[in-house]
């Protein structure tokens, strides 16, 4: 089986890592659109266009399954992706995360994400659909994606930015939903600052959902593609465990590719 995974940048590697933990004998093709990160500040039309381009690139490898490892693209482009590529199973990261939160039976949930994800209300609507009695607070946290892309996931700067966004929720929520696949890289710092909260990210619930489908036996193979070499690319790739044989990391320019 061949699986394509794409994200606006490096954060989707957390999803890839979770998928690799539950799979065997799968060829993974990961695309991080580091030249155009972040998606969360773009218009819906732009996000859809970017997502379709990323999916078209990954379909060059005859993928059987596509994972949208980007909350913004999941919220804005999943429908368009399924319409454009009806022959491919398309999975997004939002629904599994919501289902995981609801299993915890919380009473007050905080959702953080990019501006585009928060404005879409996709998490809030699905949470309230599952439990109309929930109190759901939302907050756009646009500084967190650049923070992660710069490799700043712990220490004074990371803690200061997280307090800026989250301190007002102390005592107001019992569960925090990380509505962006970059945010799991900040999860340990969040838990350090707010140990009283349950924290749910998008990566693990999706991996559990796909685990039976991805267990084929044998070694996983991985190819990584990035549309720009960001300053911390190599460091981030090394920091995130990728269980399988890494067959290459390639940098390309969209200008050189006709989608």
In the predicted model, what is the mean pLDDT of the chain?
A: 94
pLDDT of residue 231: 78
Beta bridge partners of 108: 135
* Catalytic residue selected from 48, 180, 186, 222: 180
Neighbours of 189 (CB within 10 A): 17
Q: Write out pLDDT tens, residues 26-60.
A: 999 999 999 998 898 899 999 999 999 999 999 99
Q: Is the pLDDT of residue 258 over 60?
A: no
Helical H segments across 89-169, by residue range: 94-103, 115-120, 122-130, 144-149, 156-166
User: Which one-letter DSSP state was computed for residue 216?
Assistant: -
- The answer to whether the peptide bond before residue 38 is cis (omega within 30 degrees of 0) is yes
154 and 189 in contact (C-beta within 8 Å)?
yes
16, 47, 54, 70: which is the annotated catalytic residue? 70
Q: pTM higher than 0.85 for the full model?
A: yes
Catalytic-residue membership of 70? yes
| CA distances to 108, 166, 174 from 171, in Å | 10, 11, 8
pLDDT in tens, 141-175: 999 988 988 889 999 999 999 999 999 999 999 99
For the four alpha carbons of 232, 67, 18 and 123, in that order, the dihedral sign comes to positive
Sheet holding 108-113, edge to edge: 135-140, 108-113, 175-179, 198-200
What integer pLDDT is reported at residue 35 of this predicted model?
93
Residue-level pLDDT at 259: 52
Residue 54 is a catalytic residue: no
pLDDT tens digits, residue range 70-115?
Answer: 999 999 999 999 999 999 999 999 999 999 999 999 999 999 998 8
pLDDT of res. 31: 97
- What whole-number distance in Å separates Cα of residue 66 and Cα of residue 58? 8
Contact 207, 22 (CB under 8 A): yes
All domains of the chain in start order, with CATH: 2-92+205-256 (3.40.50.1860), 95-202 (3.40.50.1860)
Q: Which phi and psi angles does 21 have, rounded to 5°?
A: -65, -30
How far apart are the C-alpha atoms of 4 and 95, rounded to whole Å? 19
């Amino acid at each position: 089986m061949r699986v394509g995974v794409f994200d606006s940048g490096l954060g989707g590697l957390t999803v890839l890592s979770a998928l690799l933990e539950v799979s065997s004998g799968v060829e993974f093709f990961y695309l991080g659109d580091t030249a155009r990160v972040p998606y969360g500040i773009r218009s819906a039309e732009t996000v859809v266009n970017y997502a379709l381009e990323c999916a078209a690139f990954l379909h060059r490898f005859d993928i059987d399954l596509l994972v949208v490892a980007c909350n913004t693209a999941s919220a804005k482009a999943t429908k368009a992706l399924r319409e454009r590529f009806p022959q491919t199973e398309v999975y997004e990261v939002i629904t599994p995360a919501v289902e995981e939160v609801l299993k915890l039976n919380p009473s007050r949930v905080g959702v953080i994400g990019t501006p585009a994800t928060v404005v879409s209300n996709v998490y809030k609507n699905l949470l309230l659909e599952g439990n109309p009695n929930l109190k759901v607070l939302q907050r756009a946290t646009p500084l967190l994606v650049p923070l992660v892309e710069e490799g700043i996931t712990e220490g004074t700067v990371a803690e200061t930015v997280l307090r800026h966004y989250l301190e007002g929720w102390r005592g107001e929520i019992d569960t925090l939903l990380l509505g962006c696949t970059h945010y799991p890289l900040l999860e340990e710092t969040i838990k350090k600052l707010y140990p009283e909260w349950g924290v749910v990210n998008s990566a693990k619930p999706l991996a559990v959902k796909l685990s039976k489908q991805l267990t084929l036996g044998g070694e996983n193979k991985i190819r990584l593609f990035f549309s720009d070499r960001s300053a911390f690319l190599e460091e981030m790739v090394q920091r995130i465990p990728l269980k399988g044989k890494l067959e290459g990391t390639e940098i390309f320019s969209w200008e050189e590719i006709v989608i």
